[in-house]
Chains A and B, each alone.
Chain A
Amino acid sequence: MADAPSSISSRKGVPAAQAPGNPVRDVRGPIKRLYSSVRDGRGFDIVLVAFPLGFLFLMAGLPLLYNVLMSFQEVDMFSLGTLMRPFVGLKNYRDLFAQPETLPILANTAIFVAGSIAGQFLIGFGLALFFWVNFPGASWLRGLFLVSWVMPGLVVGAIWNWILSGDFGVLNFVLREGGVISGNIFWRSDPNYSLYAVILANIWLGTAFNMILLSVGLSAIPADLYEAAELDGANAWQRFWTITLPMMRSTIGAIIALGLIFTLQQFDLFAAITSGGPNNSSNVTQYWAWEQSFRQYDFAKGATISVLMIIFVMIASVVYVRSTRHEVRG
């Protein structure tokens, strides 16, 4: 026991007698040192970060890689339990693009994304500008709008499914009374309208979130800019174009990128309103990928679509991270 300290320090190449500074460290065994580092040093941080990152790697990183692997394999119900299934190269990708429904579904996805983002952003921006004029109760009422965002997607979908109902839907009633339409629109079962039915519900769902984030951006613009512009004789319209919009540029970029990310995650509304039908007229890639895997049990195809979409989503998220980077770093 007596020469344990010297043996440790000589292993480190420092003679025990000359150990400078902190001789206490040399007396401890390696286990003890590890323990004290975890309790009171760098080790504490490493332990705190290692478990969550390990968990995320296992449960999100590995599935991502597994997805890529499966997209190059032939997967059916019999080979589901094995890892090394027959490789087919790019066959899954070629088959995917040979299918007649692929291009229409990609086009639907583009329309869904563009329509949802445009609607959410424009209405959200309008509301944010309105609530920016401070009046009693403004912030409370503004927050109330967020209920659309905290509700389960399935419930939102169920409510809109009923509102959009063809014969008895209240939206058709309002549009008829307002003289916008003469006959009922069968939102969910008419292939010309089914995609727009989901877009409508999605705009409602996402507008509040856009508005809240835009409000935060607006309140960060220094008020003296407006005072100066007003003194110079700029009217409200000019102030909006020359101060508000340029000052909001990075916020707007981040919000549109976030909108893209959230819109591509939207699944529940499709499940609750149209199920992608009729005849794929309202189908989008994120719903289609799930359908392939869990309705057709074609996991390879589901994985193939997923890989393509995930690459796309990642590009969007790089844009998002870049436009918020200085804030993320604090």
Chain B
Amino acid sequence: MTETNRNRLMLLIALVMAAIYLFPLYWMYITALKSGSEMFATPPTFWPSVPQWSTYAFVWESRGMGRYLWNSLVIASGAVVLITVLGVGCAYVLARYRNGWVDVGLFLILMLQVLPASLMITPIFVGFSQLGMLDYPRLAVIIAIAAKSMPFFVVLVRATFMAVPMELEEAALVDGNSRVGAFFHIVLPLARNGILVSAILIFMQAFGEFVYSKSIIQDIELQPASVGLNSFMGPNTNEWNNIMAYATIYVTPILAIFVLLQRRIVSGLTSGAIK
């Protein structure tokens, strides 16, 4: 078998495997386009006979998705801003020094990264209710998400800073820059891409966050899309085409960002989590 034929065969197998793996995603898009009766047909149809494009508009209106997505956006953006402002400097210092203190700090940060949100929500909720934070539920969720996701961000961004040659910064210091100046004019611009990718990853996580929002935000006006999807799925629901339309509207922007930036996201992710 020639090299080209082997490559073609491998590509074919890879495509088949990807198709099997991504079938749930396909099923979501297809179900959303089916009519109420076609959805329950036996055997199921794998291509909608008459695509029901109006389902999207119907679900958007009837479930108030604009409001849900806006809340998701507010929460995710707030969390990303808070995490970036606090986390970048921390990652920089942890990348720049190698000593016992840095090891201790890194260890603590890694430990915080592993605490499950569904277990931490009990003390966070009780503590927030004592502080009166529950009157500002979206802010409370932003803070909780920031505490949960910042360790991950710090680990990822630290890997980026480690790739910035320290000589460049030292040269800037010799040229008369202050530490602040060298940090903002030399180091940050060089690490910009890595920070951006990490921030996007955090954004995607926060955009789908569920536990904290579900527990803290009681007011339906302030709930994000994940909580909205959860309340849409009652125990005996049969509106699966509508639910899948909801899921499609919710997830497609995230998937679009991911496919566009796939290569950067994957390499950023692997550099931080494990080497």
Contacts and interface: CB of A to CB of B under 8 A. Distances in A.
Interface of A: 39-41, 44-45, 47-49, 51-53, 55-56, 59-64, 66-67, 70, 75, 80-83, 127, 130-131, 133, 135-141, 143-148, 150-156, 158-163, 165, 167-168, 170, 173, 177, 204, 207-208, 212-213, 216-217, 220, 251, 254-255, 258, 261, 264-265, 267-268, 271-272, 275, 286-287, 289-290, 293-294, 299, 302-303, 305-306, 309-310, 313-314, 316-317, 320-321, 324, 327-330
Given A137-B11, A159-B28, A271-B210, A48 B98 contact: no
Interface in B22-53: 22, 24-25, 27-28, 31, 39-40, 42-44
A155 to B, nearest CB: 5
Contacts of B233: 158, 161, 272
Contact of B89 (A48, A141, A165, A173): A48
B258 A147 contact: yes
B215 interface: yes
Identify the interface centre among B28, B107, B275: most chain A CB within 10 Å of its CB. Answer: B275
B115 A313 contact: yes
A143 B262 contact: yes
15 contacts: A55-B150, A56-B112, A66-B126, A70-B122, A70-B123, A145-B18, A150-B255, A158-B233, A158-B243, A158-B244, A162-B28, A299-B125, A305-B119, A310-B116, A313-B116
A286 B116 contact: yes
Contacts of A173: 42-44
Given A40-B180, A162-B244, A254-B274, A267 B129 contact: no
Contacts of A313: 114-116, 119
Interface string B234-275: 010000100110010011001100110011011001100111
Contacts, number: 301
B182 to A, nearest CB: 9
A49 B120 CA distance: 24
A314 B115 CA distance: 8
A61 B208 CA distance: 24
A329 B103 contact: yes
B115 A155 contact: no
Given A151-B251, A159-B244, A316-B114, 19 more contacts: A40-B178, A55-B150, A60-B112, A67-B119, A135-B7, A141-B14, A150-B255, A152-B208, A152-B210, A154-B210, A155-B251, A213-B274, A287-B118, A289-B122, A294-B215, A306-B120, A310-B115, A313-B115, A330-B98
B168 interface: no
B15 interface: yes
Determine chain A's interface SS by DSSP, over half rule. helix
A150 B204 contact: yes
B57 interface: no
Given A55-B86, A155-B247, A204-B24, A216 B122 contact: no
A141 B119 contact: no
Contacts of A162: 27-28, 31, 240, 243-244
Interface residues of B, number: 104
Contacts of B14: 130-131, 135, 137-138, 141
Contacts of B210: 152-154, 267-268, 271
Contacts of A148: 21, 24
B180 A39 contact: yes
Nearest to B86: A52
B171 interface: no
Contact of A135 (B11, B115, B204, B229): B11
B185 interface: no
A167 B39 CA distance: 12
Contacts of A316: 114
A52 B87 contact: yes
A111 to B, nearest CB: 18
Contact of A52 (B21, B121, B150, B265): B150
Contacts of A168: 39-40, 42, 44, 240
Given A159-B244, A299-B126, A39 B179 contact: yes
A44 B10 contact: no
A5 to B, nearest CB: 23
Contacts of A272: 229-230, 233
Given A39-B180, A154-B229, A216-B275, A290 B118 contact: yes
A165 B204 CA distance: 28
B56 interface: no
Contact of B208 (A127, A137, A153, A327): A153
A141 B78 CA distance: 33
B213 to A, nearest CB: 10
A154 B125 contact: no
A60 B115 contact: yes
B251 A267 contact: no
B129 A290 contact: no
Contacts of A140: 262-263
A85 to B, nearest CB: 10
B162 interface: yes
The 5 lowest CB-CB distance pairs between A and B, nearest first, are A152-B208, A48-B89, A59-B147, A52-B90, A63-B123
Given A59-B146, A306-B122, A170 B27 contact: yes
